[in-house]
Amino acid sequence: MLSHARKLKVVFFAVLSVVAASVPGLAGQASAETAVKPAASQIVADMGAGWNLGNQLEASVNGVPGETAWGLPTVTQALIDKVKAAGFRTIRIPVSYLNSIGPGPDYTVNAAWLNRIQQVADYAYNRGMYVLVNMHGDGYKTVNGSWLICDSSAQPAIKAKYQKVWQQVATRFRSYDQHLILEAMNEEFDGQYGNPTQPCYSNINAYDQIFVDTVRKTGGTNSSRWLLVAGWNTNIDYTTGNYGFVLPTDQYRSSSIPGSEQRLMISVHYYSPWDFAGDENGTITQWGRGSTNPARKSTWGQEDYLDAQLKAVHDKFVAKGYPAVVGEYGAIDKSSSDSSSNRYRADFARAIVSTAKKYGASTVYWDNGANGQYGFGLFDRRSSTVTHQGIIDAIMSGVRS
């Protein structure tokens, strides 16, 4: 999600030994599928509940990224410690690079900016949390300084720049263990909310492939690290359906990884129904079977829809050994229009987390640091205090379900 001051919308890598391989007489009975599942299911279980450090390292002014650019305070160790204490085990750090990237052919990223990205990642990594680092705002046409534009005619230069930036970021993190996950991009599409178009989708597939190849070639733990890739706008239908998504190959990964196991994860986002989750008005304020006012409940996007969406992700990817990450989800605060709204925000969060768990996916709540009307925030980032314990409790309940 792209969020700014006015607009809210925009591993430990655990390979479990296959029991059959160590028990005489059972090895021959182990199928390729059972060999795949332990690593994939274990990483999802280990990641637990996740939280986004939104509106910070992807914030920018006039094309210059900066963590306080959209009015939030500097990120502190105390904030990350509070997030961990609340029960979150994974933190996703959205990052924009924009005009911190120098000219070609080297496309050198400003060292101070890379240092700060690494420092913030360390706040969580050094506490034993999983950390997802992505490339966030560089693909939005509405962002000054954006350049990862899938329908631009300058694809050779864009792809060269993309490769160089990821080479530098991956090199920074290549000694980190599998608690560090790199994510190729964020909500990459042509900016039009309709069916995917070509050659845009082919270019998105090419970005994913460049990302995987580039990270792997930097060596170290990157040769076996879990890498997170995405389809069109991280949209579930456009990623699981016949719209053009192509999984990247992983030919440069470490030979120590069994051929039957994957090291790629699939990113999707979930804000359905948008009239409840994101529309900045007080009309649709309730969600789910517990809602009490039909006029305040959306006509679509309820529990059955959620189940079908995450089942589609499971059937397309998880069942084949590719873990899924619901890298963003959540609903804005409409309690100024309906005092019961936060209850339904909690119900929504619990349902997404528990349904994702059912279908083998991990979840990362979208927190943009804004509290009060239309905010997604669960914490006050200035005081490092919890603002919505009820929603946090619902998330943790969903993880335990």
Catalytic positions, written as ranges:
187, 328
Q: How far is CA 349 from CA 49, 187, 270, 293, 335, in A?
A: 11, 20, 10, 19, 16
Query: Which residues make beta-bridge pairs with 229?
Result: 266
305: how many CB neighbours lie within 10 A of its CB? 13
Q: Let me know: does 50 contact 90? Beta carbons within 8 Å.
A: yes
Residue 352 near residue 55, CB atoms below 8 Å: no
Nearest residue to 58 via CA among 121, 130, 1? 1
Hey, how many other C-beta atoms are within 10 angstroms of the C-beta on 17? 8
CA 372 to CA 255: how far, in whole Å? 50
Strand partners, 230: 267
| Tally: H helices and E strands in the chain | 11, 12
